Structure 1
Amino acid sequence: MSGLDIFAIIVLLILLFAVVAIWIVLAMLPGKIAAKRNHPQAEAINIGGWLGAILGGVFWPVFLVWAFTKPIRITSAGEAEEIQDLYKRIAALEAQGTSRVGRK
């Protein structure tokens, strides 16, 4: 083996290492973004990012976009009123519980 062959092998190994490192970073990217943004489905996005990377990046962009979105809960008008009533009842029970604690 000549010196040029050894140099070529070293360059190829460095390039291979760089490609693997970039692949790992890109696979982790959607999950890291979702965790940083406190996304409720951060773990699912993390798994999807890895799955997308393993499958050759087919669905990886979908998980990347998902990491930047927040889910919106759509409620009907009646459901919204029920939720407000529940919040009022919880507040009343908490106030009642704190007044009992003060008496002991």
Structure 2
Amino acid sequence: MTALDQVALGILVFMAVVAVAVLVFFGGWPGRVAAARNHPYRSAVSIGGWITLIAGGVFYPLVLIWAYAGSTDAEVEAAAEETAA
């Protein structure tokens, strides 16, 4: 192997590592958002993020919106106080 072949192989390995890291980041993003916002269906959002990403990503934006649309505890408490008053 020449030095150029080794550089090309190194770049190829680096690109594969970056591709896996990007896949892991995007697969876990909806789950992390749902957990941070105390989403009532955070487990389903997390699983939905991985499944939709692996299955082609067509519904991935919907799962991400679902993760951000979850109510936080403060919003739930405020809504309960408004309905009780």
For the superposition of Structure 1 and Structure 2, which TM-score range results when normalised by the shorter chain? Answer: 0.7 to 0.9
Extract structure 1 runs of 4+ deviating beyond 4 A.
Answer: none
Structure 1 distance, partners of 2:49, 2:70, is 17
TM-score in terms of structure 1 length: 0.66
RMSD over aligned Cα atoms: 1.5
**Structure 2: where are the runs of 5+ without partners?**
72-83
Look up the match of 1:61: 61
**How many residues are matched?**
73
Look up the match of 2:38: 38
1:17-70: CA deviations, max 9, x gaps? 001111011000001000100000100000000001111211111100000113
**Higher alpha-carbon Rg:** 1
- The structure with higher relative contact order (CA 8 Å, sep 6+) is 2
% identical equivalent positions:
40
Look up the match of 1:95: none
TM-score in terms of structure 2 length: 0.80
**Structure 1: where are the runs of 5+ without partners?**
72-83, 85-104
Structure 2 distance, partners of 1:44, 1:57, is 16
